[in-house]
Chain A
Amino acid sequence: MNPVIQLTDVHKIYRTGEVNVHAVRGVTLTIARGEFVAIMGASGSGKSTLMNILGCLDRPTRGQYRLDGTAVADLDGDGLADLRNRKLGFVFQGFNLLPRTSALENVELPMMYLHEHLPAATQRERALRALATVGLADRARHDPNQLSGGQQQRVAIARALVNAPMVLLADEPTGNLDSQTSVEIMRVFQQLNETGITIVMVTHEADIATYAQRRLVMSDGVVVTDEPLARRATAGAP
């Protein structure tokens, strides 16, 4: 099995004025295709920093990152943008949907930046299919402010899926949701994972982490625990 994500001794140092913050201090990590990984750890331990590097939103200060075999350090800004567009999907704690823009159009957004332009009808069809995958086909015309938090997060997941990425990155996706809605989101994640999408998710909640197959714990910028989760929780059918 060839790894989707391969980190070798990755460091991230933030230079803010005089103080240097060494947020990630040498992470070596391999994630195989189809894994569902949960990252836990205390606040400030470097989880989001690591996620930003994995998401090609930021570059490591030192060390190597290979995404699907490509050395990310060799790519320019446009190359990174294309990776984000085609191979990665993001889900954020704060949903980050475009306001006053329908769910459908939010989901269509990543297709706007595809290299090979898709006809409007195809875009629509793909966006609707992504919304159906997360169980929101009937809310396509709603604006974000007409949707519940859980529904907004599902629109964000549909947006992350629409370009058929290899990896879904989620930084505290259930951080703003109640526990029951969180379970619903985990159900969607598990269904996606079963179709072969690799998922890396940061969470503070131990019970949410149990929906994953593998658990990493970070502390002070390094991975201190890396264990498979034998008894994997199932969100089950709705």
Chain B
Amino acid sequence: MRMLMTLRVAARALRRNKLRSALTTLGIIIGVGAVIAMVNIGGGAKAQVEAQVASLGQNVILIFSGSFTRGGAHSGWGGAGTLTVEDAQAIAREVPAVLYVSPEVRTVAQVATGNQNWNTQVLGTGADYFEIRQWAFTAGTGFTEQDVRAATKVAVIGQTTAQQLFGSAHPLGEIVRIKNMPFVVIGVLAPKGLSMMGSDQDDVIVIPYTSAMKRITGATTLRSIMVQAKSPALLPTAEEQITALLRQRHRITAGKEDDFMVRNQQEIAEMATATSKVMTTLLGAIASVSLIVGGIGIMNIMLVSVTERTREIGIRLAVGARRRDILLQFLIEAVTLSSLGGLIGIGVGIATSQILARVMNWPTIISWPAILGAFLFSGAVGVFFGFYPARKAARLDPIEALRYE
């Protein structure tokens, strides 16, 4: 009960200096806001990585062709076409840690049915591609090794493509024309959602890579090779063996750089979320500095307040306040200040992460444990930085305090 009264006294003292109280809490607001935003963004990024790592398949290694630069423009990985079908076959043959290998080429093309057409990603892969990516079918099946060898004109379409070309009609057995080349639809893929780069993975049409190279693009090299290792434990071995094999096949002498890039799925996912990671670190730094500065701000204001209210303290002591009552009064005032800052900061943090989620298209997760933690921590900041001023108030000599001008 005495506590409740003390709380009322503290609230009134803070209300009396509204602007000062508001400015004092600013440091805590920014600090807690940054922590909450950081945790929300970091949590979102982590969840995204996990989801995408899972959506890529299991124990997946990607090998990209090297990049080239022409007229100052960088092609990006996969552009230089340093990987060949023979490289893929060699990996399948000579790397024992590898379970499946799927060469990959891709292009963007207009695909058409009788009266619909759609611009989509055309993916040329091996027969094992669906196995590696653990991609299920809602109808039909994938193509076979036989189809790949014969460069058959068969296609498997993603959900988005199916929607666009066929609507609610049944696509199996229908003809789609890719750059005017007719392909028979033999399978429809289950939806997989957005990729880690933010593109629609279901907006795709998958055909044997041989068909793609011979009939569509005319390319002779691969963009990339997708490999599945036999187990998670064999991932590093597989990566090493692939690198060694490809360096040997490409006659890269020791000390020269690879003309290809090997990445496992974890690394690929982390590359995709690198920007949000930088942001998370930055926010973390802002948060810790702000919380300390905010705490010192509270200590400073509380010291000023104790000095200003010396006479009040004297009066309270004279009418029977114990030292503990005075200590508690100023401590509660400091904690009220900092918790209030914490509450506002939580709001600011959630708002910030939501805005970033919109503008930067980052996924964010509202973490309730972090919110509770931040609130408790802001209270603890109040206790820590408020204790010294409060003790100073409680130790005042009543006679001197009463005489203080």
Contacts and interface: CB of A to CB of B under 8 A. Distances in A.
Contacts of A126: none
A86 B398 CA distance: 17
Interface in B13-42: 16
Contacts of B5: 112
Contacts of B16: 100
A84 B319 contact: yes
B192 interface: no
A132 interface: no
Contacts of A82: 320, 322
Given A58-B399, A98-B315, A100-B16, A113 B323 contact: no
Given A96-B311, A96-B315, A117-B2, A110 B320 contact: yes
A84 B399 contact: no
Given A57-B398, A78-B322, A81-B322, A112 B2 contact: yes
Interface in B317-333: 317-325
B124 interface: no
Given A96-B311, A112-B5, A90 B318 contact: yes
A97 B402 CA distance: 11
Given A57-B399, A98-B312, A109 B322 contact: no
A52 B319 contact: no
B1 interface: yes
Nearest to B319: A110
A84 B1 contact: no
Contacts of A96: 311, 314-315, 318, 402
A110 B399 CA distance: 17
A90 B319 contact: yes
B305 to A, nearest CB: 14
A117 B320 CA distance: 14
A176 B244 CA distance: 98
A117 B1 contact: yes
B177 interface: no
Interface in B278-329: 311-312, 314-325
Interface string A63-79: 00000000000000110
Interface string A102-121: 00000001101110010000
Contacts of A57: 317-318, 398-399, 402
Contacts of B312: 98
Contact of A85 (B1, B2, B314, B319): B319
A90 B321 CA distance: 14
B325 to A, nearest CB: 6
Contact of A81 (B2, B320, B399, B402): B320
Given A92-B402, A96-B402, A100-B16, A109 B1 contact: no
B315 A109 contact: yes
Task: With a 10 A CB-CB cut-off, give which of A57, A97, A117 has the most chain B CB atoms.
Answer: A57
A172 B91 CA distance: 103
Contact of B322 (A86, A110, A113, A159): A113
A113 B399 contact: no
B318 A113 contact: no
Contacts of A84: 317-320
Interface of A: 52, 55, 57-58, 77-78, 81-82, 84-86, 90, 92, 96-98, 100, 109-110, 112-114, 117, 159, 163
21 contacts: A55-B318, A57-B317, A57-B318, A77-B322, A81-B317, A81-B320, A81-B322, A81-B323, A84-B317, A84-B318, A84-B319, A92-B402, A96-B318, A109-B315, A109-B316, A113-B321, A113-B325, A114-B320, A117-B1, A159-B319, A163-B320
The 5 closest A-B pairs by CB, nearest first: A85-B320, A110-B319, A113-B320, A117-B1, A81-B322
